[in-house]
Amino acid sequence: MDTLALRTDAGHRLLARYRRMQNSRDLDQSIEHFKHASDHCPMDHPCRSAALFNLANVEFLSCQAEGRHLDLDIPISLFQDALDLRPSDHPDRAITQLHLGIAMLSRFAKRGFQTDAGAAEELLNEVLDVCHANSHIHRAALLAIETSALHPAASTDAHDLGQEWPAASMLPLSPDQLADQAKWCLRTDDPHVLDKVISLHYDALEYYNAMHPCRGQLLVNLSIILSIRFERRGNAEDLDQSIALAREALALCPVGHPYRSSSLNNLAVQLSIRFDHRGNAEDLDQAIALQREALASRPVALALHPVGHTDRSKSLNNLANQLSTRFDHRGNAEDLTESRENLRSALNLLTQHDPLRLTVHASLATVYLSFHRSGLDSTGPGEDTDSLNAAMHHFRTAANVVPGGLLGRLRASLRWVRHADQHRHSTELEAYGTSMQLMDAYMSATASVSSRHSAMKDFPRTLAVDAASCALRSGDVCRAVELLEQGRTIIWTQMTRLRTPLDTLQTHSEHAAALMKRFRDLSSLLDRPPASHADGTQSVDVEAADVRYRRLVEDWNGAVEEIRKIEGFSRFLLPPV
């Protein structure tokens, strides 16, 4: 690779790193690389206009970042030289006009040269004339006019304009559009979408400086999205950056600011996540202190989340969970007692139709289990039956909070199953029955193949068998048969909704054909109903059916895994990626 390409690539890499980390040394080094690149492009070089544009871009960014408005002549001159080399039919003429117009408006804002305003208006209007209305360049030019003194409705003076002006490039999306993109990240598993939205937010932070009212919310959104990416990929740098951004957002919200409470809550949540992964007690203590501040009364007897505030219950629940976690690590009874009281308060604030009731009931169940294990409300650990009963009551209630959604209710019911089974509680069979009903309802209501597969993969494969075993222990043979049949129906119904290219597998090889036959035989056995008497009643040894079902499921799973080892069949019975 020649020197020009090496210098240009190095300049872009450093510029990208500066945009992420805001280290001025990266920006200075980027300028040096682009200077060397332009030095390798004489007047007749085909890449000279691009080299000048790149250098002008970083020089302008440097002027904006360091407040050197007297040096704006340098990038403007470079942009103008690049534009002179790009005639009207050049594909990059419009973007060059856009950047030159922005630079001139910035100089106008700082020095008040009317000739700059006139030239900028002419450049930007030409961009609007030649670019499609839906293009980023058109929207950027329009935004430049509407947010500057060129627009008739604009109320900003030259000083304000200089404070609000973009650095290296215009933002293609508005803050509201970025917020919609951030919400989309919560509903999709596409890693490319996540990376794109993060990149858009970093670009936006270049545009909205510390004085802009939107910057705080952008910082919070980006912090949350980075936390999501950390949870999905496990990159510790994402979590650390998320916390750094959350701290910066909080610094922009002094006491009395309307968004201080949400900033406090977000930082507390991110610190709690980091504690869960690294175990640093300081993170947990800080999270608790931040949540308490969000709930604390101010000297004027007001609170950031006062009684009746829509987010107060959420803050109470978060604080309660953090206190419960600290109790698990340090055993301070006051933490567990405070956790329970906060959750009771949160529950009292919620209406009967609030979906957050599911979360609070589940949290209360966890706290009561801690009381039961620790024996704080009784004479010894494991002897507090009242706390155990209370825990199961709250699990049952959580599983029946209809506004909480099928997936949340299913997860709550499975926790109920796990703890009821562990303690051999009287509600165990009820917990199994509830889980089976919710599993069936969720799978039936979920249209996405990937979501159905995720449910089949993440939830217990032997749920129906375990439920039947529980029914047998309680002496209810008929109920055991019903649960086995219900589980068989759920699994097989979902299997038929996934793609199974068995015909292709049969012609692949003799080994593949043998596996295909084994898969079909096992599937047929799983689909076969129990034998019946002539009068229609089922004739089955339920304990034997339990053992048989478990063995068939294990053999079926083994056959599927063997098929996936064959070249071209790694996604057998899996949703498309």
The answer to whether the CB of 362 falls within 8 A of the CB of 394 is yes
Residue 39 placed within a domain: yes
| Residue 232 pLDDT exceeds 70 | yes
| Residue 527 pLDDT exceeds 90 | no
Residue 53 placed within a domain: yes
Diameter over CA atoms, the chain: 100
Q: Looking at residue 297, what DSSP letter applies?
A: B
Query: Which has more confidence, 238 or 217?
Result: 238
Distance CA 427, CA 361 (A): 16
Could you identify the residue written with the tokens 């303690």? 423
| Residue 53 pLDDT exceeds 80 | yes
Query: 201: burial class by Cβ within 10 Å (0-12, 13-18, 19+)?
Result: buried
Predicted confidence at residue 302, as pLDDT, reads: 36
Residue 99 placed within a domain: yes
Predicted confidence at residue 146, as pLDDT, reads: 72
Distance CA 57, CA 15 (A): 10
Non-local (6+) Cβ contacts of 502 within 8 A are: 516, 519, 520
CATH number for position 33: 1.25.40.10
pLDDT digits (tens, 9 = 90+) for 208-225: 666 666 788 889 889 999
Non-local (6+) Cβ contacts of 404 within 8 A are: 355, 357, 358, 359, 398, 412
| Residue 69 pLDDT exceeds 80 | no
Predicted confidence at residue 250, as pLDDT, reads: 92
Consecutive H or E run containing 118:
helix 114-130
Non-local (6+) Cβ contacts of 413 within 8 A are: 395, 399, 431, 434, 435, 438
- Please give the single-letter amino acid code of residue 89: D
For residue 166, name the pLDDT band (cuts at 50, 70, 90).
very low
pLDDT digits (tens, 9 = 90+) for 319-345: 999 999 999 999 999 999 999 999 999
Distance CA 152, CA 391 (A): 64
Predicted confidence at residue 174, as pLDDT, reads: 60
Strand partners, 194: none
Predicted confidence at residue 298, as pLDDT, reads: 36
Query: Which has more confidence, 310 or 536?
Result: 310
Query: In this prediction, what percent of the chain has a pLDDT beyond 90?
Result: 31
Q: Report which of 402, 553, 379, 354 is spatially closest to residue 468, judged by C-alpha positions.
A: 553
Predicted confidence at residue 381, as pLDDT, reads: 61
Lowest mean pLDDT among 334-348, 439-453, 481-495: 439-453
DSSP string, 127-167: HHHHS-TTSHHHHHHHHHHHTSTTSTT----HHHHHHH--S
Main-chain phi, psi angles of 94, to 5 degrees? -60, -45
Predicted confidence at residue 10, as pLDDT, reads: 85
Residue 100 placed within a domain: yes
Tabulate helix, strand, coil % of the chain (nearest 5).
70, 0, 25
Distance CA 210, CA 23 (A): 16
Q: Report which of 463, 381, 477, 364 is spatially closest to residue 423, judged by C-alpha positions.
A: 381
Residue 105 placed within a domain: yes
Query: Which has more confidence, 534 or 403?
Result: 403
- Helices 73-84 and 48-66, axial angle in degrees (round to 10): 160
Predicted confidence at residue 165, as pLDDT, reads: 42
Lowest mean pLDDT among 145-159, 317-331, 553-567: 145-159
Residue range of the domain that includes 98:
3-164
Q: Number of structural domains, the chain?
A: 1
Query: 411: burial class by Cβ within 10 Å (0-12, 13-18, 19+)?
Result: buried
For residue 183, name the pLDDT band (cuts at 50, 70, 90).
confident
Distance CA 418, CA 463 (A): 11
Main-chain phi, psi angles of 538, to 5 degrees? -75, 140
For residue 354, name the pLDDT band (cuts at 50, 70, 90).
confident
DSSP string, 414-446: HHHHHHHHHHT-TTHHHHHHHHHHHHHHHHHH-
Residue 197 placed within a domain: no
| Residue 240 pLDDT exceeds 90 | yes
| Residue 88 pLDDT exceeds 90 | no
Chain mean pLDDT for the chain: 80
Residues shown for the chain? 577
Query: Which has more confidence, 309 or 11?
Result: 11
Residue 159 placed within a domain: yes
Q: First and final CA of the chain: distance in angstroms?
A: 36
Predicted confidence at residue 479, as pLDDT, reads: 87
Query: 462: burial class by Cβ within 10 Å (0-12, 13-18, 19+)?
Result: middle
Predicted confidence at residue 158, as pLDDT, reads: 35
Token reading at 51? 């080299």
0.75 surpassed by pTM: no
Predicted confidence at residue 503, as pLDDT, reads: 55
Residue 84 placed within a domain: yes
The answer to whether the CB of 143 falls within 8 A of the CB of 135 is no
